Chain A
Amino acid sequence: MPQIVQIADTLSSQVFWLLVFFGLTFLVVGLGMVPKIMGTVELRDQQISGDLAAAQAARDAADSEEAAWRKRENENRAAAQAVVAEAKGAATKANEAKLAEAQTRLDARLAEAEAGIDAARSSALAEIEDVAADAARDIVARIAGADVEPAAAQAAVKEVMAHG
């Protein structure tokens, strides 16, 4: 085994060069580069956790903003509904009042018209009596040759009509 056969010749050389090259690697890589690389990793981790925290804060802010907006929106909606209901009530009341007024006006006109019709009818009846009395006097004058007083004729017509 060369490891044992050569040990006396090579031990000092092996140890010396190992210490040289391992030491160089330790100084340059271990002490020089590794802390910087780990610093970069740490920096990145910090940045990531910072970004995550900022994102979480932004989300929380957005959530509370949304909740506030929702509350405001609900209040606004309720207020709008109250306004609409009020307007509806007012409109209904006004309509009813207008309808009632129109009704009374119509009733009045109806009553007036009925009264007119009654008057017209009674005057027409009176005219018919006059015409009938005249016609009765004419008939009596033509047939009997007697001249009847208008008042008597009128009384006779009245009596007949009353008997109808």
Chain B
Amino acid sequence: MAAEEGKVDPMKQFTIEPLFGSNWQLADGLNIAFTNSALWMAVTAVLVTAFVAGGMQRQVVPGRWQMAVESMTGFIDDLLEANVGKAGRKYVPYIFTLFMFILFGNLLGLVPVGLIPGVHAFTFTSHFTVTGVLALMSFAIVLVVGFAKHGLHFFSLFVPKDTPLVMAIFIAPIEFVSFMVRPFSLALRLFVAMMAGHVLLKVLASFVIAGGGAGMGLGVAVGVPSFILMVAISALEILVAGIQAYVFALLTSLYINDAENLH
């Protein structure tokens, strides 16, 4: 489909391809082939580690790199302090890793490495299998912390404070549903935001190619505005990459707040 008439398939960028053999069996039926998705996760892990390691000089007067890393940890620290309070500090390692992993994953998908022949960018955060696992981890932390700290009293989360009993009968099921929807909304928000942007960029790119192939008049009328729009949307996507990583970290910290400080 991608080869026919030089058309661009906007969904092909999400295809997962095994890189070193397609059948690595961990156990019977559990295939853990190392794919392009896994490769970009590895690149993300290496870059996050390298970025943070560069800020480890531990100088009293920080250099630029150390300042950048410290502003990131300080950002997450402030986020947790504002949403959870003093008890939120122990979640900084998890939230920081989550934020940086998603941020770098989002941004790496926007790096135009496709200019190098044979290399294809891949955004693993545009797969709900990945965002789903991240969301389930956050949700699991909320459940574990909530039940470990408050026991069965944690179920009172579904009854807002000072609710009359008559109202509570109706509100509790609604609250329960909204609570159970959290991991899905968390996972789908990131997945959809990343996928939509990349599909849009590819669709516009196909306009540019088709417009250029259709001759001078259409090339100028369609191709040039599409290209300008692509540039603008690429800038928007960089913003979205940061915002979605922030939203994921923010919502996770808000959910942790429910577990940590039950009303």
| Contact surface of A with B, Cβ cutoff 8 Å | 1-3, 6-7, 9-19, 21-22, 24-26, 28-31, 33-38, 40-41, 43-44, 47
Contacts and interface: CB of A to CB of B under 8 A. Distances in A.
Given A29-B96, A30-B93, A31-B93, A15 B129 contact: yes
Given A12-B26, A47-B60, A34 B92 contact: yes
Given A38-B73, A43-B60, 14 more contacts: A3-B128, A7-B129, A12-B29, A12-B31, A14-B38, A16-B30, A17-B34, A18-B133, A24-B45, A25-B49, A30-B97, A33-B52, A33-B53, A40-B59
Contact of A21 (B45, B58, B60): B45
Nearest to B9: A2
Contacts, number: 134
A18 B124 contact: yes
The prevalent SS among residues of B at the interface is: helix
Contacts of A3: 14, 126-129, 191, 195
Contacts of B38: 13-14, 17, 21
B73 A37 contact: yes
Pairs of residues from A and B, 5 with the lowest C-beta to C-beta distance, nearest first: A30-B93, A17-B38, A30-B97, A14-B129, A21-B45
Nearest to A26: B97
B111 interface: no
B160 interface: no
B35 interface: yes
A48 to B, nearest CB: 9
A41 B70 contact: yes
Q: In the complex, which range does the number of interface residues on chain B fall in? A: 35 or more
A29 B52 contact: yes
A86 to B, nearest CB: 62
B32 interface: yes
Contacts of B220: none
B101 A2 contact: no
A10 B182 CA distance: 24
B48 interface: yes
B94 A11 contact: no
A66 to B, nearest CB: 32
B77 interface: yes
B93 A35 contact: yes
Contacts of B236: none
Given A21-B38, A21-B42, A36-B58, A30 B96 contact: yes
Contacts of A35: 93
B224 interface: no
B244 interface: no
B74 interface: yes
Contact of A36 (B49, B56, B97, B137): B56
Nearest to B60: A44
